[in-house]
Amino acid sequence: MQIEPVINARFKQFKKSNDLENIPDGEAFERFVNHSILSQHQPDAFSSDTEMLDFVCVGGTSDMGIDGIAIKVNGILVKSNEDIQDIITRFKRIEIEFIFIQSKYKPHFNKGELNNFVDGVRDFLSEEHRFPMNQKVKAHLELKEFILSDDVIIMWDTNPKVTLYYVAMGRWGEAPDLIGVQEQFESDLEKLNIFESASFHFVDSALLKNIYDSIQNTFTTIIDTRHIMPLTDVEGVTNSCISIIYGSEFLKLISTEDGIIRKSLFNDNVRDFQGINPVNSEIFDTIKENPENFIILNNGITIVCDEFKQNNTKLSISNPQIVNGCQTSHVLHTAFRKGNKIDNVPLSVKFISTTDEEIVNTIVRGTNRQNIVLEEAFETTKQFHKDLEEFFNAYSLEHPNIYYERRSKQYLHNPTIKQTEKVNLKNLTQYFVAMFLNEPHKSHRHEAILLKEFANDLYQEGHSKFPYYVCAFSFLKLEELFRQKQLPLRVKSYKGHILMLLRQSISGYCPTFYKERAIDSHSQKVFDILLEDNKCKQHFENAVKIFDECMSSWEQSGRSKRGTKDVAGFTELLLQKSVEKLGNNINSIDYDNSNKQYSGRVKNIVRDKFGNLCGFIERKPDDIFFHSAYNKNIDFSRLKNRWVKYKIDRNVKTNRDYATDVEPI
C-alpha cells in the first residue's frame, strides 16, 4: 500500500530501529501506532524491553476488533496486579484510564471497522462478555476486574476514564456516520455509571505524524509571552531569558492536540509527577482561589531547548525540555482539565538554549536541589554511571555495539544506533539484580524500589564495569532470540530467571564485584558464549530446559504455577537445579554470604570512651560502625571521606552489624 512519504519514512525508521523488518507490514504498523500513541502517555514505557509493547499489542485471532489495549494508573502503564498495588502503596489515591486502539493500514476510515472496534470495547467494559477473546485480551480483562474490585475502588480519586483511538492513513473529514458511532458509544458508556468520560480520537496521517514527532521531541511551538528579559552571558549557553507567561499559553507548550500532557517534555526532569500530595494541593488551591498570586508563591519553571527565537512578544521554541517545573506543569494541566480557568495564572519561565550536555546536567542538579527531591532521582548523574557509559562506548569499538542510555533519549537523534542496541537504567538495574544478584523474583519491581533495596550492591565505586556490560549484552541477546521466535514465548515474562540460569550454568558462583580479575574472568565465560550464536542459543535453551523442569517439579509438589515469578522459593529451586547440572562445579556455588564485600564512604572518624579509634561508613538505611579492634592494619588518619570496601559481621551481644576487613579502594 502507498502511504504518505513522511509517514512511510517514519514507519520504516521505526521498523529498522526495532528490528521488525521481517514481519508483515500490517502487524508492524499496529506496533508502530501502539508505540507512538502510548508513548505520548508514558514516554519510557517501552525503552529497549519489548515486553510492555508485546503486552499492549493484542491484535490477532479473537481480538474483539481491538489492536491495542493499555491500562494507565496514575500516568503509568501497568501489566500486573502487583504494578497496580505498588502504585496504590506509593500514592494512596489513583486515577485510572483505559486506552483502546484500532489501527488500519488503509487509506480511508471505514464505518464497519469502526463499529467492530466500538462493539469490542463495549463488550470489554461490560460486566458480561459475549465476544471470544484471545489470551492477551484476557490478561487486560483480569487487570480491569482487579481495578473494579471493592478493595481497589475505595482508592479511586475519580471514576476511570476511557480513551479510544481509531487510526487510518486517510484524511479525517468529520464524517457524520462515524461521528454518530462515536456519540452512540459515549451515550452507552454513560449508562454504565462506572466510567467518568469517553474521549474519542480519529487519527489521520497528518495527526499521526505530529504524534510521532512529538514523542521524538522534535517539535517547535510558538507561545505568547510578557515582559521578556535577557539573562547574562554564560559560556556554552547560546541564549537565555526569563519571561512571564500566562497559563493558557503555557498549556500550548505542554499539551498535545488531543489534550494529553506531553510526557516527553519531562525526560530530563529528575522526578515524575508526584500526584496530588500536600505541596501539589497547595499549587492547585492557588490556581483555583488566588491565581494572581501564583507567580510570587511558585519557584517558576526552567526550560532547556536547542533554540529559541523572539519576535516581539512571541517565542518560537525548538525541542524543549522542562528540567524544573514538572509538578507545576502537571497541576496546571490537571486544573484546566477539571474546568478551572487558567488564563489569569502568571508563570515565571526561564528559557536556556544550549546543546552542551554537561551544562544541561548542571542546570538539572542546580534547579532541582532547591526542591525536596529524593537522592535516587539523581542516580544517573553520579560519576559511576558516567564512567559506565564511557566503558560501554569504548568496549563497543571492538565488540558488539551496546549503548548505555544514561540520559533519557540521549541517542534519539543518532539514526545509526538501533533501539535493539540500547539499555537504560531501568533495564540494567532490573536484569543485573536478576542475573548477578540472583534475585529475579524481585527484578520486575520499579527501578526506584530496586535502587533503594540494593543500594549497597549496585553501581558502587570500585565495582568492575564489565559485569554490567555482560548483563546488558545477555539481555539484548535474549530479546533477539525471542524476536526471532527461537525460544518459547511462554517464558518471556521470566527473562530475569532465564538470565540468572544462563550465568549460573556457565560460570557458577559469582565472586565479589570488587575483585576485578575474578569477576571479570567469571563474566568473560558468559561473554564468550554470547559471541557465538549457536552456543548462545544452546545455552539459553538449556536454561529454559532447567526452568521447565523446575516448573514441573513445582507443580507436582502441589504448589500453584500462578505467581511463581515473584516467589523466592522458586528462585531457590532454580538455583538448586542449576547446581545439579554443573556436576563437578557443584561446590563452586556458595550460599554463605559471610565473604560478601560492600563499599561505602567513611563518614566520620571518632574515638570511643577508652580512646580507641573507630568510625562510621555511609550505608542505607543506617550507617555502619567499624572499630580499630577488628581492623588493625588500616591507617585511620587518612580514612575520612575515603571510599572503602568491607565485610559485615554481627555483634551477638548487641545484635548489631559492624564492618570488618575495612580496606581503602
Domain's final residue, options 329, 348, 373: 373
- d(C-alpha 537, C-alpha 529), whole Å: 9
Same domain, 463 and 407: yes
At 7, the pLDDT band (50, 70, 90 cuts) reads confident
The mean pLDDT value of the chain amounts to: 85
Chain segment 497-520, per-residue pLDDT in tens: 999 999 998 988 888 777 788 889
**Residue 583: other Cβ atoms inside 10 A:** 7
Same domain, 572 and 527: yes
Asked if 231 and 240 touch (Cβ cutoff 8 Å), the reply is yes
Same domain, 424 and 463: yes
Q: Can you tell me whether residue 469 is helix, strand or coil?
A: helix
Cell triple for 51 = 515486553
Residues 303 and 190 in one domain: no
Decide which of 341, 373, 405 is a domain's last residue: 373
> Cell numbers at residue 316, please?
518560537
CA distances from 663 to 463, 599, 601, 626, 646 (A): 14, 9, 11, 11, 6
Residue 2, pLDDT > 70, answer: no
Distinct helix (H) and strand (E) counts, the chain = 22, 20
Q: How many CA atoms lie within 13 A of 521 on its CB side?
A: 8
Q: At 416, is the pLDDT very low, low, confident or very high (cuts 50, 70, 90)?
A: low
Q: How far apart are CA 163 and CA 443, in angstroms?
A: 31
Residues 403 and 548 in one domain: yes
Residue range 162-212, pLDDT digits in tens: 999 999 887 887 788 899 999 999 888 888 888 987 889 999 888 888 888
- pLDDT at residue 590, rounded to an integer: 38
Q: Which of 281-295, 517-531, 647-661 has the lowest mean pLDDT?
A: 647-661
**Which residue range is the domain that position 238 belongs to?**
220-373
Q: Are residues 576 and 603 in the same domain?
A: no
Q: What's the domain count of the chain?
A: 4
Listed range (99-113, 208-222, 298-312, 450-464) with the worst mean pLDDT: 208-222
Residues 553-576 have a mean pLDDT of 84
Tell me: do 11 and 141 sit in the same domain: yes
Q: What is the pLDDT of residue 589?
A: 34
* Minimum mean pLDDT range among 207-216, 328-337, 412-421, 537-546: 412-421
Do 429 and 348 reside in the same domain of the chain? no
Greatest Cα pair distance, the chain, in angstroms, is: 89
Q: How large a percentage of the chain has pLDDT more than 70?
A: 91
Give pLDDT, residue 59.
Answer: 92
Which of 188, 215, 242 is at the close of a domain? 215
Each residue of 86-127: pLDDT tens digit? 888 877 888 899 999 999 888 788 899 999 999 999 999 998
Q: Is the pLDDT of residue 486 over 90?
A: yes
Digit-coded pLDDT (tens) for 282-296 = 899 999 899 999 999
Q: Is the pLDDT of residue 587 over 60?
A: no
Output phi, psi for 197, to 5 deg. -165, 165
- Reported as a pLDDT band with limits 50, 70 and 90, residue 591 is very low
Asked whether residue 572 carries a pLDDT value surpassing 80, the answer given is: yes
pLDDT at 277: 74
Per-residue pLDDT at 257 exceeds 80: no
Q: What is the pLDDT of residue 482?
A: 92
> Do 426 and 514 fall within a single domain?
yes
User: How confident is the model at residue 324, as a pLDDT?
Assistant: 85
Whether residue 190 is found in the same domain as residue 290: no
For cell 524543549, the residue is 320
221: which 3 cell numbers?
511551538
Average pLDDT, integer, range 523-552: 93
**Residue 370 scores a pLDDT above 50:** no
Q: Is 293 left (phi over 0), alpha (psi -120 to 50) or beta?
A: alpha
> Is 566 in the same domain as 436?
yes
Average pLDDT in the 308-337 region? 88
Residue type, 441: H
Strands of the sheet with 239-246, listed across from one edge? 226-230, 239-246, 346-353, 301-305, 321-324
Higher pLDDT residue, 90 or 41? 41
**DSSP string covering 418-437, please?**
-GGGEEEHHHHHHHHHHHTS
**What pLDDT is attached to residue 139?**
94
The answer to whether residues 228 and 349 belong to one domain is yes
